[in-house]
Amino acid sequence: MQISVIGCGYLGAVHAACMAKLGHDVVGIDVDERKIADLAAGKAPFFEPGLEELLLEVQATGRLTFTTDMSAAQGSTVHFVCVGTPQKKGENAADMTYVDAATQALLPYLSAGDVVVGKSTVPVGTAARLAELVLQQEPKAHLAWNPEFLREGHAVKDTLTPDRFVYGVHEGSEDHAAVAALDEVYSTPLGMGTRRLVADYATAELVKAAANSFLATKISFINAMAEVCEAAGADVTVLADAIGLDDRIGRKFLNAGIGFGGGCLPKDIRAFMARAGELGADQALTFLREVDAINMRRRTRTVELTRELCGGVLMGQRITVLGAAFKPDSDDVRDSPALSIAAQLQLQGAVVTVTDPESLGNAARRFPELNYEANTEEALRNADAVLLLTEWKEYRHLDPHETRDLVGNARILDGRNALDPQKWRAAGWTYRGVGRP
C-alpha cells in the first residue's frame, strides 16, 4: 500500500520504518528539517534499539522516503497522523495545535477513498471533530483512530508485533472501509494472530487514556506501598513479589522507585483528568490526582533520602546521578524523574554530575546547569554519594568493589531497587533502596 506518516518523532519514525518493513511504500513527513535530513540519511534522530538498522534495511529497498513537503502525501491511500500532543503550558489539558495543524495541512492532498488514521494520543472527542473536517474536504475519504501502545526501548518490536490493534471508526462498524484498509496495512501481524478490536471513535480514544491511567495507577500504588513499608520497616520488593504472584494482580509494573515520567504517562493522565472535567465526569478521575501526587512525591522523597545519606547536608556534596533518561534503552528525557531529582539536588547546593549512555545531549539541552560526564568511571570518581536513577543494564551490573575504589564516600541510593543490597553492603557500601529497610 501507499502510506504517508505525518510526524516522525518517537512514534512516527518507528511507525514509518515498520510500515516499510511490512512491505508498504511509505513517505515520512515532518516539519523538522533536521529530523528529516537525519532520517533521509538512514540515521535515527533519537536512540531507539534496532531503529537505525531497520531504517538502513528498508531504505535500501526504496520503499521508505522522508520529506518536509506535505504534498508528498498525495497518492497515498492511508495517512497516519503521529504528531505530538504535549501538555499545554500552565494547564493539564493536551495541546492540540500540532494535530490540528497537521490535519489541516493534509486535507488538500486527500483523494476519494483515502483513510486518515490518527495515532497520536488525543482527548476523547477529537476523532469525531476531525472526521467532519475530512468529510468536508473529501466526502469519499474516511477517518479512523488507531491508538498506539508502543513502549520506547521496545518500539520496533511493539510496532511490528503489537499485542493488539484498536480501530476506532464511525459508529464502530466492522464493515467500514477504514477497517478493511487497516486490515490490509496490518495484514502481516494480523496473520500472525494479533487481536484487533473495532470500536467507535470515543471508545478507541478512551482505550488509550484508560490503559495509561491503569499503568500509572499501578506504579503509584506500589510507590504508596513503598511509603508505608518505609514507615513500618517492611520490604516493598518482597511485598510486590508476593502480591504479584496472584495472577489477578500480576508482577509487571509493580517496581517501587522514583516514579514514572516520560512523554506519555504524566501528560496523558493530566489530559484525561482535564477532558473528563470538560465532560462533567471529573469526579470519576479524582483518583488520578492522587496517582499524580504520589508520583511527584517520589521525587522530593528521593532528594530527602539523598540528604539523609549524606549525613543531613547537601551543600557541597559531590553527587553522581547514574541515568538521565526517563527509562533505560531510550534517550527520551521528557519529564524524566532522574533529571528532575538531579536539578533539585543541585538547587539545594549539591554538586551534581549526571551520566547516561544515550541521553546526555538531550539532558544538557533541558538542564544546562547540571554537569554531564559521558564516562561512567569519571562520573563516579570522588563522589560523596551515588544515585542510581535510571536502571540501564550497565548500572545494574556495576561491580560494587570496583565502584567503591572510584568514589570518595561509598554511599548509594538505589532509586529503582535494581541492585542487590547484600552484595553492595558486603562491599562496604551504605546502601539505601526505595521502600526497603
Size of residue set near ligand NAD by CB under 6 A: 27
* CA distances, 200 to each of 106, 128, 162, 168, 203 (Å): 23, 10, 20, 5, 5
d(CA 303, CA 313): 11
d(CA 206, CA 228): 32
Interaction between residue 337 and ligand NAD (CB under 6 A): no
Shortest spacing between CB 19 and ligand NAD, in angstroms: 15
Stretch that binds ligand NAD, among 48-56, 98-106, 278-286, 417-425 (CB under 6 A): 98-106
Stretch that binds ligand NAD, among 25-33, 71-79, 311-319, 348-356 (CB under 6 A): 25-33
Interaction between residue 123 and ligand NAD (CB under 6 A): no
Interaction between residue 435 and ligand NAD (CB under 6 A): no
Instruction: Find out whether 161 and 189 touch, Cβ atoms under 8 Å.
Output: yes
Considering only residues 19, 28, 30, 387, which one is a binding residue for ligand NAD as defined by CB under 6 A? 30
The residue among 417, 421, 420, 419 whose CA lies nearest residue 431 is 421
Q: What residue type is assigned to position 349 of the chain?
A: G
Q: Are strands 78-81 and 115-118 parallel, antiparallel or unpaired?
A: parallel
Shortest spacing between CB 263 and ligand NAD, in angstroms: 5
**Residue 11 or 20 having the CB closest to ligand NAD:** 11
Interaction between residue 10 and ligand NAD (CB under 6 A): yes
- Residue showing the smallest CB distance to ligand NAD in the complex: 9
Interaction between residue 78 and ligand NAD (CB under 6 A): no
Interaction between residue 168 and ligand NAD (CB under 6 A): no
Interaction between residue 121 and ligand NAD (CB under 6 A): yes
Q: Are strands 411-414 and 385-388 parallel, antiparallel or unpaired?
A: parallel
How far out from the chain centre does Cα 156 lie? 14
Stretch that binds ligand NAD, among 27-35, 55-63, 275-283, 413-421 (CB under 6 A): 27-35
Shortest spacing between CB 278 and ligand NAD, in angstroms: 18
- What residues from 303 to 332 belong to the interface with ligand NAD (CB under 6 A)? none
d(CA 266, CA 308): 28
- What residues from 250 to 289 belong to the interface with ligand NAD (CB under 6 A)? 263-264
Interaction between residue 134 and ligand NAD (CB under 6 A): no
**Residue 8 or 224 having the CB closest to ligand NAD:** 8
Phi, psi of 364 (to 5 degrees): -65, -30
132 CB-near residues (< 8 Å, 6+ apart): none
Cell matching residue 381: 570518581
Interaction between residue 205 and ligand NAD (CB under 6 A): no
**Residue 30 or 384 having the CB closest to ligand NAD:** 30
Q: DSSP characters for 358-423?
A: S-HHHHHHH-TTSEE-SSHHHHHTT-SEEEE-S--HHHHT--HHHHHHH-SS-EEEETTS-S-HHH
Find the Cα–Cα–Cα–Cα dihedral 25, 31, 37, 39, rounded to 10°. Answer: -40
Known catalytic residue at 18: no
Shortest spacing between CB 427 and ligand NAD, in angstroms: 37
**Residue 327 or 411 having the CB closest to ligand NAD:** 327
Angle of CA points 253, 256, 257, to nearest 5°: 115
Considering only residues 38, 114, 152, 384, which one is a binding residue for ligand NAD as defined by CB under 6 A? 152
User: Which parts of this chain interact with ligand NAD (CB under 6 A)?
Assistant: 6-12, 29-32, 35, 82-85, 98, 101-102, 105, 120-121, 148, 150, 152, 263-264
* Residues that are catalytic: 264
